[in-house]
Structures are given as structure tokens and as C-alpha cells.
Copies of this chain bind each other. A is one copy, B any other.
């Protein structure tokens, strides 16, 4: 009987799940609204209605969970800004009590990095970094074939390095964090600022702030919209500079970019590569490959969460 890991990705809006085999095939996928404003027990009851039959009917060796601010060591979700379940949620304990299977927890970007390593473009790669450009900017760092958890269990929060100590307000309470510039939200803020700074016409001036997203900006850029192209350049420049800084820490072979914004392709990647190399410390020049995640069009969130489970609970693999 085939073995599976149950992958669960908890987002501020939706929770996704699915059974993933050792080769990365996904079955019985599903999703439901997270109800981030209810309490954790309500969430677990809701989860139960979706997954209990999967656990009963399959050989499930464990669950892997990706969640905002998930702490790998403690199995807790800590200070998650998008989940109103309390400051510190004892997720692992509550989950195991209810579902009686082993569970491991980390944040969604760390899970995505594990997914890339087990099932994506980082197979067999020892040293790489993955950035997820979503509402915020998450990152997962792999060193010598292992995900870096660090002393706290929460390593890899590159979205909060400082771009400008007096810069944009960040959801974390500080100012000028990388994710306030480089993320789906960040580029929207950049568009808003550029519309204030310049007088050039732009189709983006006819779209309400709350409806501007990566796709709208990409479409505008493809039509040679000045503001849109400038917004990608600005975003790519800041990203590139911080990628060069990132390389100085753990010297990755490849940096993977993941998330809807990355679908903009060359509009984001070209300036990011250009400025990464321009700012690169000489010994690392022309050495780092920057490319989109190869899981972009798959159920990456579930694959990543499941990859954590396979890493933790698989007793067969080498």
C-alpha cells in the first residue's frame, strides 16, 4: 500500500491540503477558508471535516504543516499577524491530540524551500535560497542539504532585513523592511508612489489601489506603461541589491523566486539579475543562478508542507 504524507498549508485566507506520495504526486487535494478570526479549536474542527477520512482511508505516515510564523522546534505558531488565534498557539500538540498522527510544522517559505529540494528544481542541490513573493516576502535557506532553522527554529526571515530605516511602515511594526518594497503588496505601494511622483499617463491610474496586483501591473508593463515598467525596475533593483547581500551570508548556488509576482518574468527578473550582479562582492560574481521556482504551476504550498513531513518521518529514504 502506497505511503503518503498529508501536506497542509495554512494561509491567512485559505487553507490547502492534499496527500503527497514519495515522488511528489498529489491526490485528494482540497481547500477551505481558514477562518483566521475564529479560534484555533474551531479551525481544527473544520480541518477535521476535510481530512479525517483521508487519514482513515490511506497509509499516512504523518503530516507536514506550513503556517505563518510556524516554529519548527516548538511546533507553535507565534505572533502570526494574519491569524487571530492568540500570540502563541501550541499547534503540534493540539493537532496530534486530535488526529493521532505525527506532525511537523514550519513556516510556509521554509516549507516551499523543502518542496523545491524534494520535488522541484533544487533536487540534489546542497546550498540554495528560496524567496516567496506574496503578500509579504518569505524565505527558506538550505545549507549543505539541510534547511536552516537556527537557534530559534525560525531562521530565514530575509523579508525583514532593512532597506531603509526610515522607509515604509511594515506589518511587523518596524520601518523599511524588504517586504514593504519587494512583494505583491510592495510593488503596489511602489506603483502608488510613482503615480504621485510622475505625471505620465498610466492605465494604473484608473484602477483602485486595492485592485492593483501583480497581474494588472504585468499587463500594463507589457503594453509599455511607463509607471508599470518603472515599478518593476524599482522592485527588481531593491531585490537584486538584497540578493547580493544574501549571497554574502550562506553563498547559495541558486536563488529561486516563487509567487504570483514572479509570473511577471523578465520584467522582474531582468532588473533583479542586473542589480544583483552589479552589487555582487567580486568573489561571488557570475556564480549565482537566479530563477523562478519550478513548482510555480503546481500545488507548491501542499508539496512544500508535505516535503517537511517526508523529511521528518520517512524511514525508508536514504
Residues of A within 8 A of B (CB): 69, 78-79, 126-128, 141, 143-144, 146, 148-158, 160-162, 165, 172-174, 241, 244-246, 248-253, 279, 281-284, 287
Contact = CB atoms under 8 A, between A and B. Distances in A.
Given A157-B248, A250-B150, A252-B151, A281 B241 contact: no
Copies in the complex: 2
Given A143-B148, A245-B161, A251 B283 contact: no
Given A146-B144, A241-B162, A249-B158, A151 B283 contact: no
A150 B155 contact: no
A250 B249 contact: yes
Contacts of A162: 241, 244-245, 279
A161 B248 contact: yes
Contacts of A155: 127, 248-251
9 contacts: A79-B282, A128-B151, A151-B251, A152-B287, A154-B251, A157-B284, A160-B248, A162-B241, A245-B245
Given A143-B150, A241-B162, A283 B78 contact: yes
A148 B241 contact: no
A110 to B, nearest CB: 11
Contact of A250 (B126, B141, B287): B141
Contact of A157 (B146, B149, B152, B283): B283
Contacts of A246: 249
A182 to B, nearest CB: 14
A165 B279 CA distance: 9
A291 to B, nearest CB: 15
**Most chain B CB atoms below 10 A, which of A149, A152, A172, A287:** A152
A158 B127 CA distance: 17
Contacts of A128: 151
Contacts of A152: 251, 283-284, 287
Contact of A282 (B156, B172, B252, B287): B172
Contact of A154 (B143, B149, B165, B283): B283
A239 to B, nearest CB: 13
